[in-house]
């Protein structure tokens, strides 16, 4: 059995694990990342909505606080990642152009108004607008839409571009090993490393567990589960494609469209999402899911009939029992960065700030300090350790997440 020694061992090379690895490298640590297929988890499917407002459901004020704190960090996060990767400004696709929310029929409008009332209570800044105003903002909005809202606080980024930028930074300065961790190594109640599936042992000063929905298979204190979802990629002429995120309800079913930047050929990619299931992770796309997404998106934006269907992809969100992430120390030597569920792209900069703090680096600026405080309050993984924590199994409590 061979062995490696490093300061920080990161298990999982999705957007969260690579962000943790990048922050550890910035702090001067030697870093190894284990992942048999980095970037091929939930990050590969994600739409990239940065949506603390529309994703804030009833009873989820903690998640709204986490999301708002993380969104404030996105501009600085994107800029410093692009700089570190030697990419031009804008390469990770951050766009702060707001979001249009649509309601297809009268019942969907009742739901939208209930949500707007909640946003008003929490001071999140969204407001109802008329369907005509919606069409002025996004000309392709269909004639049958019953109502709309403008959500100035929800934005977007490109998860695949961010993942690629992180991978290039980590590959240049750390070590990426294409292997799966099979167990954590413990000594005297502390995590001191891990073993991979080739039998190689890694000894580390700290282990960051960021294996997405699979994290729970390595550590019982990370009660993650797969929440599979499908997204589609369309390619549309810019005249027929929305320039802002459009999301809506169509007879009770959520659907969204996230635009990527316009290309020189006058077309842009659109991500249409997303289904949400409670089943095992198999990466298989169901025909009915593709049908339902296309049916619902055409009800809101009929002009997309002309778009080219490029890709269907199904991956699993890392769900947690209360739908909030697990970010923080869970045992001596073991830092959890998982359970980000339907908001992992939004919550990436907040996770970065928490890792900075865990490694002893002062979070940069008041917003980062505030974010890591919010993470301590609402994302502490030890909340599941208490026998009387009372967290219900989310299988019975989640109502189809949208992102």
Ligand X SMILES: Cc1cc2nc3c(=O)[nH]c(=O)nc-3n(C[C@H](O)[C@H](O)[C@H](O)COP(=O)(O)OP(=O)(O)OC[C@H]3O[C@@H](n4cnc5c(N)ncnc54)[C@H](O)[C@@H]3O)c2cc1C
Q: Are 312 and 232 in contact (CB under 8 A)?
A: yes
DSSP 84: H
Q: Which is nearer to ligand X, 131 or 318 (CB)?
A: 318
For residue 247, state whether it binds ligand X (rule: CB under 6 A): no
For residue 344, state whether it binds ligand X (rule: CB under 6 A): yes
**Options 99, 285, 343, 372; binder of ligand X; rule CB under 6 A:** 343
**265: CB partners within 8 A, 6+ apart:** none
CA distance 80 to 94: 12
For residue 53, state whether it binds ligand X (rule: CB under 6 A): no
For residue 147, state whether it binds ligand X (rule: CB under 6 A): no
Q: Pairing mode, if any, of strands 181-187 and 190-196? A: antiparallel
**Options 31, 43, 222, 269; binder of ligand X; rule CB under 6 A:** 43
For residue 49, state whether it binds ligand X (rule: CB under 6 A): yes
Total binding residues toward ligand X, as defined by CB under 6 A: 44
* Residues 171-190: x where in contact with ligand X by CB under 6 A, - otherwise, as a string: ---------xx---------
For residue 345, state whether it binds ligand X (rule: CB under 6 A): yes
CA distance 317 to 396: 17
For residue 198, state whether it binds ligand X (rule: CB under 6 A): no
For residue 166, state whether it binds ligand X (rule: CB under 6 A): no
Name the one range near ligand X by CB under 6 A: 37-45, 96-104, 282-290, 390-398: 37-45
Within 10 angstroms of residue 395's Cβ, the number of other Cβ atoms is: 11
For residue 13, state whether it binds ligand X (rule: CB under 6 A): yes
- Minimum distance from residue 135 beta carbon to ligand X (Å): 24
* Preceding omega of 274 cis (within 30 degrees of 0): yes
Residue in 171, 165, 21 with CA at minimum distance from that of residue 93: 165
For residue 153, state whether it binds ligand X (rule: CB under 6 A): no
Q: Pairing mode, if any, of strands 190-196 and 253-259? A: unpaired
**Options 8, 46, 118, 368; binder of ligand X; rule CB under 6 A:** 46
3-state helix, strand and coil shares in percent for the chain, rounded to the nearest 5: 35, 30, 35
Q: Are 97 and 103 in contact (CB under 8 A)?
A: no
For residue 267, state whether it binds ligand X (rule: CB under 6 A): no
Name the one range near ligand X by CB under 6 A: 108-116, 117-125, 198-206, 311-319: 311-319
**Options 145, 210, 294, 375; binder of ligand X; rule CB under 6 A:** 210
Residue in 30, 18, 27 with CA at minimum distance from that of residue 360: 27
CA distance 251 to 323: 24
Enumerate residues 272-291 that contact ligand X by CB under 6 A.
Answer: 273-274
Which element (helix H / strand E) includes 72?
helix 61-84
Q: Enumerate binding residues for ligand X (CB under 6 A).
A: 11-17, 34-38, 40-43, 45-49, 180-181, 210-212, 214, 229, 231, 273-274, 315-318, 338, 340-346, 403
């Amino acid at each position: 059995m061979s062995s490696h020694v490093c300061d920080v061992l990161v298990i999982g090379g999705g957007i969260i694990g690579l962000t943790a690895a990048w922050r550890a490298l910035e702090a001067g640590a030697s870093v190894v990342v284990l992942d048999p297929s980095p970037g091929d988890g939930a990050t590969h499917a994600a739409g990239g909505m940065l949506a603390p407002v529309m994703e804030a459901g009833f009873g989820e004020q903690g998640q709204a606080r986490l999301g708002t704190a993380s969104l404030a960090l996105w501009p600085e996060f994107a800029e410093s990642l692009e700089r570190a990767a030697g990419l031009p400004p804008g390469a990770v696709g951050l766009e702060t152009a707001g979001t249009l929310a649509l309601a297809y029929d009268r019942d969907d409008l009742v739901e939208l108004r209930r949500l707007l009332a909640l946003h008003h209570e929490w001071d999140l800044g969204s407001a109802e607008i008329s369907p005509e105003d919606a069409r002025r903002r996004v000309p392709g909005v269909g004639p049958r839409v019953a109502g709309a809202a403008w959500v100035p606080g929800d934005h977007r980024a490109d998860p695949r571009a961010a993942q690629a930028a992180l991978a290039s930074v980590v590959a240049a300065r750390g070590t990426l090993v294409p292997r799966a961790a099979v167990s954590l190594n413990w000594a005297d109640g502390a995590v001191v490393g891990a073993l991979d599936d080739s039998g190689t042992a890694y000894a580390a000063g700290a282990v960051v567990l960021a294996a997405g929905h699979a994290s729970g298979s390595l550590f019982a204190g990370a009660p993650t589960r797969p929440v599979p979802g499908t997204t589609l990629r369309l390619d549309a002429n810019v005249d027929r494609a929305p320039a802002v995120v459009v999301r809506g309800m169509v007879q009770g079913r959520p659907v969204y469209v996230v635009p990527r930047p316009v290309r020189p050929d006058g077309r842009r990619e659109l991500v249409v999402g997303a289904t949400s299931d409670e089943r095992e992770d198999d990466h298989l796309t169901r025909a009915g899911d593709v049908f339902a997404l296309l049916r619902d998106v055409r009800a809101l934006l009929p002009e997309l009939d002309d778009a080219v269907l490029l890709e269907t992809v199904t991956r699993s969100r890392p769900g947690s029992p209360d739908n909030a992430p697990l970010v923080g120390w869970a045992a001596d030597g073991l830092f959890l960065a998982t359970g980000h569920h339907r908001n992992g792209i939004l919550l990436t900069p907040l996770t970065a700030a928490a890792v900075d703090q865990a490694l002893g680096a002062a979070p940069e600026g008041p917003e980062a300090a505030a974010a890591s405080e919010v993470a301590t309050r609402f994302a502490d993984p030890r909340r599941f350790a208490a026998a009387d924590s009372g967290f219900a199994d989310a299988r019975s409590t989640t109502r189809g997440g949208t992102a």
